[in-house]
Amino acid sequence: MQLDLDFVRSNFPAFSSPINDGQSFFENAGGSFACRQTIDALTEYYTDLKVQPYGEFESSRRGGELMDRSRERWAEALGVDAREVVFGPSTTANTYVLAHAFADVLGPGHEVIVTNQDHEANTGAIRRAAERVGCEVKEWRIDPDTGLLDVADFEALLSERTGLVTVPHASNIIGSENDVTRITHLAHAVGARVIVDGVSFAPHSLPDVGAIGADVYLFSLYKTYSVHQGLMVVRAGLMAELPNQSHFFNDSVADKRLNPAGPDHAQVASAGAVLDYVEALHQHHGGSVTDDLRTAVAHASMLWRAHEDSLTPQLLAALADRDDVRLLGPASLDAAAGHRCPTVAFSPLAHDPEHVAHALVERGVQTSSGHYYAARVLDGLGVDPDRGVVRLSFVHYTSPDDVERAVTALGEALR
């Protein structure tokens, strides 16, 4: 069954807001529009429940109940236990806390493998913490032409000394998916822990984190139609091993020990509402109301992917066919390295990226330019991070007309 785009878009108020009239949104990798369910949940919280949660009076009790519900719903959606779900201010904040925690369990004699395909959030703090405690930091490098990571290179870096591996599920520049299940399996075989950054993957397909098997899986809810929070799954074995990063009396409180910032009550309570949208989508496309949430999530993700895959080739072709543009990442959906998400970055060779982005915006294509905090990726590709690139990123609510608009605008902007 095909995705019913009218149904999808009717769940996103941004599409009927005058501020977006006559424009197409291609800055989704920076942050997606929020679905109606998310907005309603936040409005309810700020209207009725904006008090200290978990107390005895009704508004306080209900606030706490909604916070617990978000955690339980996300755990079910991701195939993990509720005690393994941590909400933090952002993925950057979550990896920063993780880096500090890992610094207490790693030391001289350990090696840490990082990549140069990561957004800085999944690499910078870990590199610094590892170096501070005397670990050797090894970099798994992308191919300078394709931007892809080759698992054979990873295997060559792995050793009995490897204590930790950080890797992106999909890069926010290259777009193609890394086989994180296999990477995790290889790392676990030598006793290493694995952190997977799913920020650029989850908006396109909500992962079965339990099946992937990584010790940590991170993504940003504000890019998955939800609130501005980072969601981090820390599997139970590692959770028990990492030292508490919160107040001493929170040591045994699973959802607090790795969030020293303290929870943002309203956002945590509203974080699960996007899953109501996912269920509605599942049921609208033939799913049963009695299906479990994991089934609904898998079905919705399949619909999202099929829709995105029907549009991505047109955008890729519009860039790959030009000799005045360097398309970054694979030019087709199914590169040998893995399926490609519709996060499409390019370096215009004859024009300044900032000017191209400006020309696109003038033509109703909401986008931008820059290094997108992926300076190491651009450097690895031989692209000057200060000059930056232009990125067009879309998701399941993007229409064929949106892509048509982007392709036409590209032709004009690059002239």
Neighbouring residues of 44: CB distance < 8 A, sequence distance ≥ 6: none
- For ligand PLP, give the closer residue by CB, 264 or 279: 264
- For ligand PLP, give the closer residue by CB, 53 or 230: 230
Neighbouring residues of 43: CB distance < 8 A, sequence distance ≥ 6: none
d(CA 22, CA 145): 37
- For ligand PLP, give the closer residue by CB, 33 or 53: 33
- For ligand PLP, give the closer residue by CB, 53 or 263: 263
- For ligand PLP, give the closer residue by CB, 74 or 409: 74
Measured from the CB of residue 219, what is the shortest distance to ligand PLP in angstroms?
8
Measured from the CB of residue 109, what is the shortest distance to ligand PLP in angstroms?
29
Measured from the CB of residue 65, what is the shortest distance to ligand PLP in angstroms?
26
Report which of 356, 336, 349 is spatially closest to residue 146, judged by C-alpha positions.
336
Indicate the burial class of 260 (C-beta count within 10 angstroms; 0-12, 13-18, 19 or more).
Answer: middle
Measured from the CB of residue 283, what is the shortest distance to ligand PLP in angstroms?
30
Measured from the CB of residue 129, what is the shortest distance to ligand PLP in angstroms?
17
Measured from the CB of residue 200, what is the shortest distance to ligand PLP in angstroms?
4
Positive or negative: CA dihedral 307, 313, 314, 319: positive
Measured from the CB of residue 199, what is the shortest distance to ligand PLP in angstroms?
3
Q: Is there a contact between 151 and 179 (Cβ–Cβ < 8 Å)? A: yes
Amino acid at 75: A
Measured from the CB of residue 166, what is the shortest distance to ligand PLP in angstroms?
11
Report which of 172, 123, 167, 220 is spatially closest to residue 341, judged by C-alpha positions.
172
d(CA 36, CA 347): 35
- For ligand PLP, give the closer residue by CB, 53 or 88: 88
Q: Is there a contact between 370 and 30 (Cβ–Cβ < 8 Å)? A: no
Look up residue 400 and give its DSSP letter: H
- For ligand PLP, give the closer residue by CB, 163 or 168: 168
- For ligand PLP, give the closer residue by CB, 45 or 96: 96
- For ligand PLP, give the closer residue by CB, 77 or 170: 170
Measured from the CB of residue 246, what is the shortest distance to ligand PLP in angstroms?
19
Measured from the CB of residue 31, what is the shortest distance to ligand PLP in angstroms?
8
Burial 215-252 (b: 16+ CB within 10 A, else e): bbbbbbbbbbbbbebbbbbbbeebbeebebbbeeebee
- For ligand PLP, give the closer residue by CB, 15 or 373: 373
Q: Is there a contact between 52 and 244 (Cβ–Cβ < 8 Å)? A: no
Indicate the burial class of 150 (C-beta count within 10 angstroms; 0-12, 13-18, 19 or more).
Answer: middle
Residues in contact with ligand PLP by CB under 6 A are 29, 90-92, 119, 121-122, 168, 172, 197, 199-200, 220, 230
d(CA 199, CA 290): 30
List the structure tokens of 260. 């020293």
Burial 39-70 (b: 16+ CB within 10 A, else e): bebbebbeeebeeebeeeeeeeebbbebbbbb
- For ligand PLP, give the closer residue by CB, 122 or 312: 122
Measured from the CB of residue 118, what is the shortest distance to ligand PLP in angstroms?
7
Look up residue 237 and give its DSSP letter: H
Q: Is there a contact between 266 and 51 (Cβ–Cβ < 8 Å)? A: no
